């Protein structure tokens, strides 16, 4: 972090410069993206004014201003104001990162859900060509390699369903309407 100090309307004071440096250097602990800090100390009659301008990564500029009757107090006040702004900015960046991370995780979960097979209903057309006996329906069911067959019974002219159970036995479902 580069630190530059300027004095206006006052004689150059190494003690003030060293004090300002000792207060500004620890700011790097609060935010490590500080590129440079420019300190301007100014005296106007009884007012001691300190302006701090910090240049951060990504072009962000943070400013702090303080004035009092004592230059040391003005430095302390400006540094604490800058420290608060840096903490706030760092927290905002952290919130944005966590929001991005959460959004990315949600997108990933959505993609995974899309990749998983969805339960779908498939439609098939059934053509009832001619009425069948129960034995013809059983032979037809075996030749189709399906688990059920819908057919019209040749004797009663009713709609029936022949179902092959898991144990290999056949079950006849007669519709009553």
CA separation for the pair 36, 24 (Å, rounded): 10
> 161 pairs with which residues across the strands?
150, 173
Q: Write the CATH number for 63.
A: 3.30.160.100
The pLDDT score that the predictor gives to residue 31 is 85
pTM higher than the cut 0.75: no
pLDDT tens figures, 73-130: 999 999 999 999 999 999 998 898 888 888 888 888 877 776 666 677 777 666 667 8
For residue 87, is it within any domain? yes
110's tokens: 């959505």
Number of domains in the chain: 2
> 171 pairs with which residues across the strands?
163
Q: Write the CATH number for 141.
A: 3.30.505.50
Residue 160 lies in domain: 134-174
For residue 127, is it within any domain? no
For residue 124, is it within any domain? no
């Amino acid at each position: 972090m580069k630190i530059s100090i300027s004095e206006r309307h006052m004689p150059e004071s190494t003690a003030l410069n060293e004090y300002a440096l000792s207060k500004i250097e620890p700011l790097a602990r609060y935010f490590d993206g500080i590129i440079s800090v420019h300190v301007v100390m100014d005296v106007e009659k009884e007012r001691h004014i300190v302006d701090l301008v910090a240049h951060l990564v990504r072009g962000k500029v943070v400013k702090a201003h303080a004035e009092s009757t004592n230059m040391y107090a003005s430095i302390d006040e400006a540094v604490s104001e800058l420290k608060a702004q840096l903490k706030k900015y760092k927290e905002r960046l952290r919130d944005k990162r966590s929001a991005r991370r959460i959004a990315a995780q949600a997108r990933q979960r959505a993609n995974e859900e899309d990749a998983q097979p969805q339960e779908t209903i498939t439609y098939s057309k059934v053509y009832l060509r001619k009425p069948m006996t129960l034995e013809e329906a059983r032979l037809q069911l075996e030749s189709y390699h399906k688990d059920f067959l819908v057919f019209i019974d040749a004797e009663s002219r009713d709609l029936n369903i022949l179902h092959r159970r898991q144990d290999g036995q056949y079950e006849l479902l007669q519709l009553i309407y």
